[in-house]
Chains A and B, each alone.
Chain A
């Protein structure tokens, strides 16, 4: 079942001026796979996700999506992004739009979907993340956990083939982390392909098919949760796990 490669990253390099942040990343993500990315602060986790999505311009390397190379022309980039959902640490909801309009925005503007239909699907997505009662309020009225659930619904509204999460719970109060992780867990069960940067090790262990340990811009170790947590080989991974548990 999980044999179709949906996203392939070849020799990805990224430098900010003189600082080389990603030093040649190779990855393949299979359909339905949940891949967590762990690693110390500054190891390049966010930069990796952002390069995949062209929010950062990569210095070198290729990205293949469903077997086709993604060109960096604006058109091809935008089409690709429309099929890749992204959830940010700080949500970035649109404060001038109600919750339902936040969720409808992508389909209506990018896909030119009929507004009534878009509203219906958006409402169903809000039900899925448990926020249908908040449909007509503004983001400012929500808690952090609720905002992040809306951000997930907004990304899902584009019916993406893969979702990228960059520390989706790091900006939340501890008591709000659970509700967001639950939503992500349910997505995993539904078979959504996901790449998740996270510091929630228990969650990563439970939800992931594969975990990547990033260190100084390189994939230092890659394996199943068991490989990574019970049987780590890389010395830096060992000390990272010790420091975080």
Chain B
């Protein structure tokens, strides 16, 4: 009997903290959303530009893009964020905290996204390019009208994964003191001395955001497959 009533009291306490603190997360959750969405869009743009540069097959451009990709892949995102926020100002490049975070996150996912695009572009059968050539299309027309639409479709599942990773990676922006979900969670934990309900709230927010993204992606995938049997 005593065990049960103690448990009830604890559950009540847990719920009351959750109810009290959940709304207080909202501005930080919005910040998480902002960081993720902007860095995903920007990262996709970077990815496209990088893969386009690579496709020119110009040696110098290829070296630069390869360097970019291997640096991003070869070092932790945490270090990259520190570098942009604390390192770049030393050579006169200073950005606000938010801008630093977005640049860092976009740069990071851009490298992975460009590799996703490259993979799916390479997976398009050479016959597609030849059919375009045979019609008299230029290289550029073939890329825009034949290769890119098919490659984009093929990259959607991998892009989706990358988007989900980007949402989680945005939590690292807390190290340059951006008040996003994880930073606010840490502050609330310090204030309440009660980590469990606070982390629970943060987890639920992430889970909901990511579930919504997954759903949207699945819908996009379905819409893109109208041309399949």
The answer, yes or no, to whether B214 is at the interface (CB within 8 Å) is no
Check B135–A105 contact: CB distance below 8 A. Answer: yes
The answer, yes or no, to whether B11 is at the interface (CB within 8 Å) is no
> Quick one: which of A75-107 are within 8 Å of B by CB?
78-86, 88, 90, 92-96, 98, 105-106
Evaluate whether A88 and B127 lie within 8 angstroms (CB atoms) in the complex, with A81-B134, A110-B137 already known: yes
The answer, yes or no, to whether B10 is at the interface (CB within 8 Å) is no
Kindly list chain B residues whose C-beta atoms are within 8 Å of the C-beta of A95: 150, 227
Kindly list chain A residues whose C-beta atoms are within 8 Å of the C-beta of B136: 78-83, 106, 110, 158
How far is A74 from B134 in the complex, measured between Cα atoms in Å?
A: 13
Check A94–B146 contact: CB distance below 8 A. Answer: yes
Query: Closest approach, in angstroms, between the C-beta of A239 and any C-beta of chain B?
Result: 33
Kindly list chain B residues whose C-beta atoms are within 8 Å of the C-beta of A193: none
Q: How large is the interface on A (under 10, 10 to 19, 20 to 34, 35 or more residues)?
A: 20 to 34
The answer, yes or no, to whether B209 is at the interface (CB within 8 Å) is no
Check B146–A88 contact: CB distance below 8 A. Answer: no
Kindly list chain B residues whose C-beta atoms are within 8 Å of the C-beta of A109: 135, 137, 141, 145
Check B141–A140 contact: CB distance below 8 A. Answer: no
Query: Closest approach, in angstroms, between the C-beta of A51 and any C-beta of chain B?
Result: 13
Evaluate whether A138 and B131 lie within 8 angstroms (CB atoms) in the complex, with A109-B141, A158-B136 already known: no
Check A82–B135 contact: CB distance below 8 A. Answer: yes
Number of interface residues of B (CB under 8 A): 22
Evaluate whether A93 and B229 lie within 8 angstroms (CB atoms) in the complex, with A78-B136, A79-B136 already known: no
Check A96–B134 contact: CB distance below 8 A. Answer: no
The answer, yes or no, to whether A55 is at the interface (CB within 8 Å) is yes
The answer, yes or no, to whether A141 is at the interface (CB within 8 Å) is yes
Query: Closest approach, in angstroms, between the C-beta of A14 and any C-beta of chain B?
Result: 16
Evaluate whether A78 and B227 lie within 8 angstroms (CB atoms) in the complex, with A92-B130, A94-B131, A96-B150 already known: no
Query: Closest approach, in angstroms, between the C-beta of A79 and any C-beta of chain B?
Result: 7
The answer, yes or no, to whether A146 is at the interface (CB within 8 Å) is no
The answer, yes or no, to whether B203 is at the interface (CB within 8 Å) is no
> Quick one: which of B112-136 are within 8 Å of A by CB?
125, 127-128, 130-131, 133-136
The answer, yes or no, to whether B190 is at the interface (CB within 8 Å) is no
Query: Closest approach, in angstroms, between the C-beta of B85 and any C-beta of chain A?
Result: 42
Task: Give the one of B130, B136, B138, B141 with max A CB within 10 A.
Answer: B136
How far is A140 from B136 in the complex, measured between Cα atoms in Å?
A: 24
Kindly list chain A residues whose C-beta atoms are within 8 Å of the C-beta of B226: 138
Check A88–B141 contact: CB distance below 8 A. Answer: no
Kindly list chain B residues whose C-beta atoms are within 8 Å of the C-beta of A85: 134
The answer, yes or no, to whether A198 is at the interface (CB within 8 Å) is no
Interface residues of B, dominant DSSP? helix
Check B135–A110 contact: CB distance below 8 A. Answer: yes
The answer, yes or no, to whether A162 is at the interface (CB within 8 Å) is no
Query: Closest approach, in angstroms, between the C-beta of A66 and any C-beta of chain B?
Result: 16
> Quick one: which of A139-186 are within 8 Å of B by CB?
139-141, 154-155, 158
Kindly list chain B residues whose C-beta atoms are within 8 Å of the C-beta of A79: 136
How far is A80 from B128 in the complex, measured between Cα atoms in Å?
A: 19
Check B134–A86 contact: CB distance below 8 A. Answer: yes
The answer, yes or no, to whether A215 is at the interface (CB within 8 Å) is no
How far is A55 from B141 in the complex, measured between Cα atoms in Å?
A: 16
Check A55–B135 contact: CB distance below 8 A. Answer: no
How far is A94 from B138 in the complex, measured between Cα atoms in Å?
A: 16
Query: Closest approach, in angstroms, between the C-beta of A184 and any C-beta of chain B?
Result: 17
Query: Closest approach, in angstroms, between the C-beta of A161 and any C-beta of chain B?
Result: 12
Q: Which residues of A come within 8 Å of B, CB atoms?
A: 53-55, 74, 78-86, 88, 90, 92-96, 98, 105-106, 109-110, 138-141, 154-155, 158
Q: Which residues of B come within 8 Å of A, CB atoms?
A: 125, 127-128, 130-131, 133-139, 141, 145-146, 149-150, 153, 226-229
Could you list 18 further interchain pairs (A-B, Cβ under 8 angstroms) beyond the known A81-B135, A93-B131, A96-B227? Answer: A78-B136, A78-B137, A81-B133, A82-B135, A82-B136, A86-B131, A92-B128, A92-B130, A95-B150, A105-B135, A106-B135, A106-B136, A106-B137, A109-B137, A110-B135, A140-B228, A140-B229, A158-B135
26 interchain pairs (CB within 8 A)?
A54-B133, A55-B133, A55-B134, A74-B139, A78-B137, A79-B136, A81-B133, A81-B136, A82-B136, A83-B136, A86-B131, A86-B134, A88-B130, A92-B125, A94-B146, A95-B227, A98-B227, A105-B145, A106-B137, A109-B141, A110-B135, A110-B141, A140-B227, A140-B228, A141-B229, A155-B134
